[in-house]
Amino acid sequence: MTLLNHALGAFYGLALGDALGMPTQSLSRAEIKARFGQINDLQDAGPDQPIAANMPAGSITDDTEQAILVGQLLIEGQGWIDPSMLAQRLIKWEAEMQAKGSQDLLGPSTKRAIEMILAGHSPAEAGRYGTTNGAAMRITPVGIAADIANPERFIRSVVQACQVTHNTTLGISSAAAVAAVVSAGINGMDLGEALNLGQYIAQQAESHGHWVAGGRMASRIGWARTISVDSDKALLADLLYDVIGTSVASQESVVVSFALAQQVAIGEMNAFEALCMAASLGGDTDTIAAILGAMLGACLGLEVWPVVMIDKVKAVNGLALESLVQGLLALR
């Protein structure tokens, strides 16, 4: 039951963070301040939201939907994701989004990889340019299904899930860091220790995939976790936005998620406050908050999230993750 509680905490934390960041995604920090002030509840997207125009409060985006897709493939493949099947499912998902008139489509790395697969390139080759956060945003099911107690096997599972779209040092190490925190949390590890392990696994995983230029994930995570602002939350948010950055680049958005998780680990804010700050930062807010929610929920359990908000996210999206999560735990 403890495993299930923490696994559900991870997946519903991902969905809650995603929904909190939905109305603010792709907006600047200044725009968010002008429209919403500080996000502290589920909000409707306005008509001029660039990606999710007029979506109702509590709506999830590609972060949760693609994580569910990966989880389903893991169960179907008994722990193995067929690269071609992942590409086909992602193509189908984008077509469904386009049919609904949504602008919430495949990210740049994923789109390029799928175009290469359709052109006849191998899955391993297709992902050689993927450096953005697409792999990290949908890696939570791997963290639930694979046990970090066996690090080498765990990293192989992460690589296998990433290689179609993000077969690079940055793409794999960022996803491995997130998945490791999720897996460690499900095993009952303390949040601070889980973040340490995520940082270590990022370093181990960067030997996989095609090398690409960019700040090393483990080094940037370690640096971001040392940020100290003496409880000045406004200064912290400014530092995250101005110095680390909140773009789709994995070495920005994933690192920001770790920086915020560290603030929870040292008691500067609670889990929900951290999610609200992530949703208020600007940039790729839905993904930052989704990754953060998955890591915090895995370590702190489902009860850390407001029941009313989880229920609203479930109702708005027709979301029922219990059987999916149980299937992933069965693989574990």
Span 260-319, pLDDT tens digits: 999 999 999 999 999 999 999 999 999 999 999 999 999 999 999 999 999 999 999 999
Whether residue 30 has pLDDT greater than 80: yes
Grade residue 121 by pLDDT with cuts at 50, 70 and 90.
Answer: confident
Beta bridge partners of 168: 210
Whether residue 101 has pLDDT greater than 80: no
Beta bridge partners of 210: 168
Token pair, residue 181, equals 């925190």
From the list 302, 300, 276, 283, the residue with the least C-alpha distance to 19 is 276
Of 79-83, 94-98, 204-208, 215-219, the range with the lowest mean pLDDT is 94-98
Structural domain boundaries, residue 244: 2-208+215-331
The Cα 126–Cα 13 span in angstroms is 31
Whether residue 235 has pLDDT greater than 80: yes
Q: At what angle do helices 191-205 and 250-265 cross, to 10 degrees?
A: 160
pTM above 0.85, yes or no: yes
Q: For residues 24 and 40, is the Cβ–Cβ distance under 8 A?
A: no
At residue 119, the pLDDT reads 87
Residue 159: give its domain's CATH number: 1.10.4080.10
The Cα 280–Cα 256 span in angstroms is 13
Q: What is the mean pLDDT of the chain?
A: 95
Number of domains present in the structure of the chain: 1
The Cα 180–Cα 156 span in angstroms is 12
Q: For residues 198 and 207, is the Cβ–Cβ distance under 8 A?
A: no
From the list 90, 8, 20, 87, the residue with the least C-alpha distance to 316 is 20
Backbone CA torsion sign across 310, 316, 97, 108: negative
At residue 95, the pLDDT reads 85
Stretch 20-38: mean pLDDT = 96
Backbone CA torsion sign across 99, 101, 105, 111: positive
Beta bridge partners of 132: 249
The Cα 265–Cα 198 span in angstroms is 14
DSSP single-letter state for residue 127: G
Whether residue 104 has pLDDT greater than 80: no
Stretch 152-163: mean pLDDT = 94
User: Which of helix, strand or coil describes residue 226?
Assistant: coil
The proportion of the chain whose per-residue pLDDT surpasses 90, expressed as a percent, equals 84
Whether residue 102 has pLDDT greater than 80: no
Whether residue 91 has pLDDT greater than 90: no
From the list 262, 256, 216, 264, the residue with the least C-alpha distance to 239 is 256
